[in-house]
Amino acid sequence: MFPDGIPKGFRTMSIVDFPIRGEACSVLQARDASALSGIKQPGVAAAIWQREPAPEFVNWISGLPPDKLPKLRSLVGADALEGCIQAACSLAGTPAGPERDMLAGDIAALGYLMSEIMETPLLHVRLEAVSTNACRRFHVDNMTARMLCTYRGAGTQLTQPGTEAAPLSVSQGSAVLLRGRCWPGEEQTVLLHRSPPIEGTGETRLLAVIDPAFDYKPEGRLH
Ligand SMILES: [Fe+2]
């Protein structure tokens, strides 16, 4: 796990911007896991659990050859996710050790939170090594909700319509939960996001994408 663990109570919380009635465009940020469940608050389109990964973890994951990064695309129960990640690591030749255990344990913890928030026992989890711009256009996902965490490299970018030139970047190791177009209720989600533009930089990101299984579409795109 990251050094912060899951601290009790909100240590910091901020709301970026205020919603227009009937629209969800605010970003809720806090250094506490419970920030993520704030996605259900009126007007909130994205909730970020702000975290700083341990330096030894950053050094370890940054130094891995890209072909040793685990890849996964699977429907999996939240309680089976940690073993699933470990198996993907073994398949990719990701070296065993405390940092690999941190990675698997952390993704499993995020999966548990996603399962609780979205009230589903089954998740669709993708773990991808990304070296292109993936999805470079700002967009809203055509689904209920999606959790993203970039364990290596630059994080997802968020913006309100009209401010695309100065997006908010989710930091490495922070988890962001985004509402999609299919979020229930009357509010329309207008907050946009995209993958950071890294093509040509030589950077390889490691991105975890956790969706509720009821949104699963076999042809779904990663972004
Ligand atoms: Fe997306």
Judge whether 96 lies within some domain.
yes
What mean pLDDT is predicted for residues 14-19? 59
Q: Please tell me the number of Cα atoms within 13 Å of 46 on its side-chain side.
A: 28
- The pLDDT, as a whole number, for residue 200 is 78
Contact 104, 90 (CB under 8 A): no
Domain-located, residue 68: yes
167 with 173: CB under 8 angstroms? no
What distance in Å separates the CA atoms of residue 213 and residue 113, rounded to the nearest whole number? 14
Cα(101) to centroid(ligand 1), Å: 28
Q: Which residues of 39-74 are buried (b: 16+ CB within 10 A; e: fewer)?
A: beeebbbbbbbbbebbeebbebbeebeeeebbebee
The answer to whether residue 221 is domain-embedded is no
Write out the residue range of the structural domain in which residue 113 sits. Answer: 13-215
pLDDT at 11 over 80: no
In a domain, 6, yes or no: no
Q: What confidence tier does 15 reach under pLDDT thresholds 50, 70, 90? A: low
Percent of the chain surpassing pLDDT 90: 78
Indicate the pTM of the whole model. 0.89
Distance 95 CA to ligand 1 centre (A): 30
> Does 220 map to a domain?
no
In the reported structure, the alpha carbon of residue 134 is separated from the centroid of ligand 1 by a whole-number distance in angstroms of: 10
CATH number, domain at 205?
Answer: 2.60.120
Predicted confidence (pLDDT) per residue in 65-92, tens digit:
999 999 999 999 999 999 999 999 999 9
Q: Which two tokens stand for residue 205?
A: 């990101």
Give the separation between CA 29 and CA 35, rounded to whole angstroms: 6
What's the 167 CA to ligand 1 centre distance in angstroms?
Answer: 15
Q: Is the dihedral of CA 133, 135, 137, 139 positive or negative?
A: negative
Instruction: Kindly state whether residue 198 falls inside one of the protein's structural domains.
Output: yes
| pLDDT over 70 percentage in the chain | 87
**pLDDT at position 189:** 95
- Residue 66 Cα to ligand 1 middle (Å): 23
Domain count for the chain: 1
pLDDT at 148 over 80: yes
Structure tokens at 94: 């990701």
- Any domain includes 5: no
In the reported structure, the alpha carbon of residue 98 is separated from the centroid of ligand 1 by a whole-number distance in angstroms of: 31
pLDDT at 78: 97
Q: Choose between 6 and 218: higher pLDDT.
A: 218
Residue 146 Cα, ligand 1 centroid: separation in angstroms?
8
Q: How many angstroms does the Cα of residue 58 sit away from the middle of ligand 1?
A: 25
d(CA 39, CA 177): 7
156 lies in a domain?
yes
- 124 CA distance to ligand 1 centroid (A)? 15
From ligand 1's centre to the CA of 148, what distance in Å?
Answer: 9
pLDDT the model gives residue 132? 77
Q: Is the pLDDT of residue 19 over 70?
A: no
Q: Ligand 1 centre and the CA of 48: distance in Å?
A: 15
How remote is the CA of residue 176 from the centroid of ligand 1, in Å? 12
| 174-222 pLDDT per residue, tens | 999 999 999 999 899 999 999 998 877 889 999 999 999 999 877 655 5
What pLDDT, on the 0 to 100 scale, is given for residue 2? 43
CA of 119 to the centre of ligand 1 (A): 21
Q: How far is the CA of 89 from the centre of ligand 1 (A)?
A: 25
